[in-house]
Amino acid sequence: MVDDLYQEIILDHSKHPRNCHAMEDANRKAEGYNPLCGDKLKLFLKVENDVVRDASFVGSGCAISTASASLMTESLKGKTREEAMKLLDRFHDLLTTESEVGRDLGKLVVFCGVREYPARVKCATLAWHTLKSALNGAASEPVTTE
Amino acid sequence: MLTESTARSQVSAILDVEKIREDFPVLKQSIHGKPLVYLDSAATAQKPYAVVEAIRKFHEVDCANIHRGVHELSQRSTAAYEETRGKARRFLNARNKSELIFVRGTTEGINLVASAWGRKNVKAGDEIIISALEHHSNIVPWQILCEEKEAKLRVIPMNERGELILEEYEKLLNPRTRMVAFAHVSNALGTVNPAREIIELAHKAGALALVDGAQAAPHMKVDVQALDADFYAFSGHKVIGPTGIGVLYGKSKLLNAMPPYQGGGDMIRTVTFEKTTYADLPYKFEAGTPNIAGGIGLGAALDYVTAVGMDKIAAYEHELLLYGTEALQRIPGLKLIGTAREKAAVLSFVMEGIHPHDIGTVLDRQGIAVRTGHHCAQPVMDWFHVPATTRASLAFYNTAAEIDALAAGLLKVKELFS
């Protein structure tokens, strides 16, 4: 029924989110907000020599946004800033275009079902909007999906 | 406590709901392979054939601009449009037809008062009172006014059931209070406010009272004279009419003393470059070509609900609400948000550990339409410390079987996410 959206791995990451904690020694932080549903997210990054050494988040959101943040933080570790930005673009394409599902997205391909649910695309992209803000430097205001 | 079967038969005894459902074309479809269960009437209600037909007839047979032209079509369209004003008068039991102003909806009605009445009558240091359970449309226009005039916005608090605390309200009233603006029924919680009492207290303090009737007009008999409301606004589309048309009621002496809201055609008597004189009520507040088709459609909608009977609608929905409340309370981990003793047509709830958006999506795949989110009432969500709720809202075309489908759907939601 809704298995195309709520794939097992998404349910797993929403019930047991990975890297879901604040980070004391983070050197990049950003906040994301989806005013449509009230979802809030804080992202913490430790970036050294242009490489994301560690990533974590805290926040409250739906299964899709929580799983997205969880899987994103997993996939970021070890990526350079440029690689992370490229991944962000690829992920965005996965959700919004009819293009061929990218092999280099790894586990993130489980979100391909979201494109059939236009009202839920912003749930999946909240963490990634926040990532962009964190990588682009300090934003004084929370980034929003609107 | 009623048994389930007793309650169901009680619900169905009040109205011939199957016959009513025949009149609503939208309800006859399947969504994702399941029969549509439409539980989002507080957002907008579905329309019967009579409304669709009235709008079609206007466009196919009578289409012309109103209040101008001596030709046959213009006279027909003017008559049909103005007839709705009379129907709206009867619907609200206003004294006079000229006290009913056509607007786009409740939001514009409130903005009209905040702007036209507020600009003239509110000064620095004055106070406007609203309540903790308001929709954004009855918050923001007053905030804008207060900011502009350096007036103060005060808020009647509510208790954990979602009922306004009248003792606190009385303490807020003082000689600087100019206006008390409140919802007759809360869209997010379903609370029915004691409108008569709130208005009486406002009047005693020398203030006026505006009632946001968006969620009351579809569900109960409204009598603006019995309430002694100074202003009362409702939206056509929530009373099974089309979108883009609504009604603002105002007492003649107040409307007469107010400056116009917008300038343009239809609202004037004479225009020269030196001076313009304004038309009498209600036209003074109706600048430009209005939503003629919408007005005519609203007339058909008011005819329909009047024929069914607002008292019967209220009684039927009350039984359905009780049935729904019991059905939802049986679901483990579900908490109703808004449990006022006087409630109408709204079942707002949260489920432990499951976000409303996920609930909404899973229900949608079973053909069940509910609203998820903050319901344009963010302060209400903040008060209850929830980011959002799921809201099933009822209309007189809903059935006890649809409540059962909702309950079954919610059990599937639980299964998936726990």
Which domain range does residue A78 map to? Answer: 8-141
Q: Is the model's pLDDT at B307 over the cut of 60?
A: yes
Domain membership of residue B37 (yes or no) is: no
Q: What is the pLDDT of residue B6?
A: 53
CATH of residue B116's domain is: 3.40.640.10
Domain count along chain A = 1
Same domain, B323 and B363: yes
Count Cβ neighbours within 10 Å for each residue of A21-47 and write b for 16 or more, e otherwise: eebeebebbbbbbbebbbbbbbbbbbb
**In the block, which residue shows the tokens 């923001």?**
B140
Kindly state the DSSP code that residue B359 receives in the 8-state scheme.
Answer: H
The alpha helices in B154-289, defined as continuous H runs, are 166-172, 195-204, 224-227, 252-257
Chain B neighbors of A14, CB-CB under 8 A = 417
For chain B, say whether A36 makes contact (Cβ under 8 Å).
Answer: yes
Amino acid B179 reads: M
Q: What is the pLDDT of residue A38?
A: 74
**What φ, ψ does residue A113 adopt, rounded to 5°?**
-65, -20
**In the block, which residue shows the tokens 């430790």?**
A46
Same domain, B88 and B175: yes
Instruction: Report the alpha-carbon distance of residue B92 to residue B88 in Å, rounded.
Output: 6
Average pLDDT over residues A32-61: 90
**In the block, which residue shows the tokens 């020398």?**
B206
Same domain, B252 and B171: yes
Q: Is the model's pLDDT at B143 over the cut of 90?
A: yes
Provide the mean pLDDT of chain A. 89
Same domain, B299 and B325: no
Domain membership of residue B90 (yes or no) is: yes
The answer to whether the Cβ–Cβ distance between A2 and B388 falls below 8 Å is no
Ramachandran sector of residue B375 (left: φ over 0; alpha: ψ -120 to 50; beta: rest):
left
- Overall residue count recorded for chain B in this entry: 418
Same domain, B106 and B250: yes
* Angle (CA) B212 B213 B217, round 5°: 175
CATH of residue B398's domain is: 3.90.1150.10
- Cβ–Cβ < 8 Å for A94, A101: yes
Instruction: Report the alpha-carbon distance of residue A118 to residue A120 in Å, rounded.
Output: 5
Same domain, B61 and B75: yes
Instruction: Tell which of A62, A120, A146 to mutate to test the B interface (max B CBs under 10 Å).
Output: A62
Domain membership of residue B335 (yes or no) is: yes
Same domain, B155 and B266: yes
Domain membership of residue B41 (yes or no) is: no
The answer to whether the Cβ–Cβ distance between A120 and B372 falls below 8 Å is no
Q: What is the band of A4 on the pLDDT scale with cuts at 50, 70, 90? A: confident
Kindly report the pTM of this predicted structure.
0.93
- Stronger pLDDT, B268 or B204, i.e. the higher one: B204
Domain membership of residue A31 (yes or no) is: yes
Q: Is the model's pLDDT at A119 over the cut of 80?
A: yes
Domain membership of residue A36 (yes or no) is: yes
Instruction: Report the alpha-carbon distance of residue B226 to residue B245 in Å, rounded.
Output: 25
Domain membership of residue A97 (yes or no) is: yes
Which H or E run contains B368?
strand B368-369
Amino acid B251 reads: K
Q: Is the model's pLDDT at B136 over the cut of 90?
A: yes
Q: Does the annotation count B376 as an active-site position? A: yes
- Stronger pLDDT, A102 or B177, i.e. the higher one: B177
Same domain, B22 and B70: no
Same domain, B289 and B313: no
**Which listed residue (B140, B376, B386, B401) is catalytic?**
B376
For chain B, say whether A51 makes contact (Cβ under 8 Å).
Answer: no
CATH of residue A124's domain is: 3.90.1010.10
Domain membership of residue B210 (yes or no) is: yes
* Lowest-pLDDT range of A132-146, B66-80, B318-332, B361-375: A132-146
Which domain range does residue B317 map to? Answer: 4-31+309-417
Domain membership of residue A3 (yes or no) is: no
Same domain, B67 and B145: yes
Same domain, B155 and B24: no
- Cβ–Cβ < 8 Å for B358, A62: yes
Domain membership of residue B325 (yes or no) is: yes
Average pLDDT over residues B185-203: 98
Q: 10 Å Cβ neighbour count for B418? A: 12
Domain membership of residue A1 (yes or no) is: no
Domain count along chain B = 2
Same domain, B356 and B397: yes
DSSP, residue by residue, B104-139: SSHHHHHHHIIIIIHHHH--TT-EEEEETT--GGGT
Pairing of strands B127-131, B334-336: unpaired
